[in-house]
Amino acid sequence: MSGSDKIVVEAISKSFDEMRALDEVNLTAKEGEFVSIVGPSGCGKSTLLYIIGGFVQPTHGVVRAGGKVVKAPGLDRGVVFQEYALFPWLTVSQNISYPLDRIGMPAARQREIVERYLELMGLTQFANAFPRMLSGGMKQRVALARTFAYDPDILLLDEPFGALDAQTREVMQDELLRLWRTNRKTVIMITHDVDEAVYLANRICVMSQRPGRFVAEFDIAHDTSLTREQVVLSDSYRKWRNAVWLSVREQVTGLKV
Ligand SMILES: Nc1ncnc2c1ncn2[C@@H]1O[C@H](COP(=O)(O)OP(=O)(O)O)[C@@H](O)[C@H]1O
Ligand SMILES: [Mg+2]
């Protein structure tokens, strides 16, 4: 895929006290790429995403986003955290409109977009509810709506669909695909769901056990004219799914198969 480098992770290491979480990790995502990161639990995936987001400082190495060295969080990088991270003092609507306000969108347009996302996420009845009144799956939908709605160039997603039921997950995945395809987003998404990675991403990077580093990479391309059902039944999909599974299993069990 051509295009300029949007995210460049250069030899990032991160230690927490004596414990080494990441070891000289390199990763480049070009504009318009959808990269999925899979790997064993505790290998440092979330830590890497927080570093790219600017929420955690690396011990060594540097991250560039859109050519600039990342030093802090920024609205160019929309993040959906594993633990939702909603503002507890704001309602569902206010949580979604918060970044719209920060980017200076006129109030009438904000209302339109908030309404569209409330509907898409099945949250219309909860527009005025506070996060503490919502289930985990609903909080996750609000967090996704908040990030999708303001349409940042870069999406950093940490297991964004984990708490959702199967039907809702498919709706959200397809909305993410639509955003990515129509607006040429750069996406980095962590998931533990190999099927999700193979269905959504155009590149899958497999991480080793801690200290995490990338050990395998798969380029994926589905025929975009196919429906989801046709994609998952295709030979190429099954071939990729199998190859990624074997690679992840090798990392989890330490056994080569
Ligand atoms: N703030 C922190 N302080 C100390 N240890 C941490 C901190 N954040 C993460 N870790 C540790 O770093 C390792 C990697 O964590 P994490 O990035 O959350 O892994 P993953 O997302 O791949 O499951 C784990 O052993 C975790 O306990
Ligand atoms: Mg994690």
Q: How many domains in the chain?
A: 2
Q: Are residues 66 and 189 in the same domain?
A: yes
Query: What would the pLDDT profile of 222-232 be if each residue is shown by its tens digit?
Result: 998 999 999 99
Residues 71 and 166 in one domain: yes
Cα distance between the two ends of the chain: 31
Q: Answer yes or no: is pLDDT of 1 > 50.
A: no
**Residues 99 and 15 grouped into a single domain:** no
41 and 109 part of one domain: no
Q: Are residues 67 and 15 in the same domain?
A: yes
For a ligand 1 pocket test, name from 14, 15, 37, 47 the mutation site with the most ligand atoms within 8 angstroms of its C-beta. Answer: 47
- Of 116, 132, 151, the position where a domain reaches its end is 151
CA of 35 to the centre of ligand 1 (A): 21
Q: What is the mean pLDDT of residues 76-85?
A: 88
Q: What is the pLDDT of residues 9-52, one digit of tens each?
A: 999 999 999 999 999 999 999 999 999 999 999 999 999 999 99
Q: Residue 44: nearest ligand to its CA? A: 1
The tokens for 183 are 């607006």
Distance of CA 83 from the midpoint of ligand 2 (Å): 10
Ligand 1 in reach of 191 Cβ (< 6 A): no
The answer to whether position 174 is within a domain reads yes
Q: What is the mean pLDDT of residues 149-158?
A: 93
Task: Say which range, 135-139, 211-215, 253-257, has the weakest mean pLDDT.
Answer: 253-257
What 3-state DSSP class applies to 244?
Answer: helix
Reduced to 3 states (helix: H, G, I; strand: E, B; else coil), residue 248 is helix
Q: Which residue range forms the structural domain that includes residue 32?
A: 1-76+160-257
